[in-house]
Structure 1
Amino acid sequence: MDYRDVFLSALYNVLLTVSYCFTLETKLAAPQNVKVTSINMATVVEWTSPHNPMSNVTYTARYIVSCSSICVNTKQLKCDVGKLPSVFGCYIFQVRAEDQGLFSEWVNANEFLPNKHTIIGPPTVHLAIQNNTLDVHVQAPVLKVGKLAVLFSQVSYIIRYWTEGFEEEATEKKVTGASEDVKLSIKGLQSWSRYCAQAMVVPKGYTNGKQFSAAVCVTNTPVLISCGIAAAILLPLAILAAWLVYKNLFVPTFWNAEATQHSAHQKEQHDKISAISEDHQYEELNEKAKISEDKDCGLASFLAPIQEVEEDYKLLMHMKPAPAFYPNHLYPLCLKNSLFSHLNQPCFTSTQPCYYNVAGTSPELNHTDCVC
């Protein structure tokens, strides 16, 4: 062997090693522990991941019957298959990892036969007692695909019942009906005793795991006692309802009228105070001043309620100052609810007291006019 052959052989080995290493680095690790779980024909594919949970690796799951993808680019470690095309047949589910154009190998789960491998859940149990007879109603579990009567040629139930506190003495009976739902009647119950029951579905030819439903209990209360309890509860309610009807039909005729009048009167007073105009205030002040003058020219001022004083103060803030020839301490203030003055009003040239136009809001009067 010459040097040329040795060189080519070495080069080939190097290229093979590099290619092998590159292939290992570009392939993703495949999912592990792929399995299928199914309860009442609801199928879920689950697996574990060899990758870091913080990585961007996603997974795609499918089944081989039609190579239909059921979950694509999911980051979860499970896939809800949904509704299978048929409950009969053999399904092979596959899962692989994906990350930015890199893929792992497909990993297969074990063969899945829905009608054989799915777990049939417990049925639903309802209890009813009448005339010392316990009626146990059992309803078939609801499947995601198909019905029990279609999957299996015969469906039976094992019903287990007992008196509460004596579960070790429970009685079991197998009941087979023409339909998926069955009923069992148990007679000879004791008053005030509490009875419990549960059931398990047993399809013909089904060998997968079976489980009882949760226990349901009911108390055998005598009919007369039940009627007495119902009457004790309903009688006060009936009396209350009758009183409410009477109150709404007869009593409000007087009460509501009085309340309406009182409310309307209060609202009218409030509107009168808040909506009064300046011109109307001036006329009202002059009118009240004249009435006070006719009664007693030397009438002393009096203290109005707090609310009236506040209104007077607001009017006072808008008044013009007294003229120069009229001393302030003698200047009469004509306010909304009262007449304030330290001394009796002067009478100038007239024989009657005069009041200066303090508001100055009326175009009919000016600062030289007097209202006598």
Structure 2
Amino acid sequence: MSLFHQAAQAEAEAKVDSYKAWPMLYGRESAPSDDVTMTMGVEMQPTFTLTDSKSAASDKSEFSFQRLRWYMKGSITKDVDYLVVTEWARNGVTSAANGSARVFRASATFRDVFDMTNIQVGSMIVPFGHAFYVPAGIAPWVNYTRMTSQLYGCGSIGCTADGGEIVTNIFKTGVMAFNQINLGNDSSLTYTAGVYNSTGVKQQDEGDQKDFNGSLEFHKGSIWAHYGLRLGSAQINAGPELDRERHAFVLRYNDFAKDKWWAWGEVMTGKDEAPGGAADLKAKGYELSLGYKLTPKWEAVARYSEYDPNTSLSNNTFQETSLGLTQRLDRGIRLQYQADRIRNDSNTIEDNIFTVRVTVPFAKKIM
């Protein structure tokens, strides 16, 4: 090979962004095949939680499975990938009242449609912000902030507070187009645009309207900048469909999964149409996270968040502070310790939550 061709090949390789965006990881197989392929896996997250609340009646300690997930994924042909997930988990996906869930999800992805985009059909993880979208098995924390769970995870502002207990990604049924476009020089632009059944984590679909979720993510080197949009609706007690609007802004520096240290910030806003011509309900919040790998096996994480569920009222903001420690064991097993301190301006909430969680993944290529 001539020096000219070697230089041209090296330049072409330099233009390809080695980073793979989460929509590509969730929606596409990394090595498609003309033959039918299958990888089967299990992910378990046994968890012990101790909650010390201002109200003595709310104190509790318990052992539970935050997640017990079985999945299979693969390719049917080089143009079609599939994912099937069943999950038994302590969360609010299908049964918010008692915290249990029995979830079945399946989707198919048609790759490189018209050599332009990928189309995923079925029940899929909906992109909006990043904190709720990160793969649960490698998340640097054991729960989500009130801002993220209410403005991302719920159909309406003011949904039942989860106390940091919702731990699953948000699945919805619909169709989504997505792709990652390489821009050269270790940079890329990833887009998603999808229409999904309403409403929120409860998977209700009594109305005719569908949710639109879209996102744009720019990556260059150590920087990620992301914008997410949701335009949807909610129908309460067979009443009229009420508009829901959400915006998310994300800025990250360094890769939390690989780099020695990283910083992560998210801002979210929400607006809910109120019944009877009343003024719209507006909410906003932010969260900041910092992580530092003390050794290859140990990582410390700090997170702070504020969330105002009704910006028209004063003395209404929640403050959440979290300190976590993650120990990486062999075979992908992770042991996490986290302490959460939750307060609000009106001094009606004083919760201290202590959590120990083990993540145990198994996966094997069957065919």
- TM-score using structure 2 length: 0.18
Q: Which has the higher contact order (CA 8 A, sep 6+)?
A: 2
Bigger radius of gyration among the two: 1
Per residue, is there more helix in 1 or in 2? 1
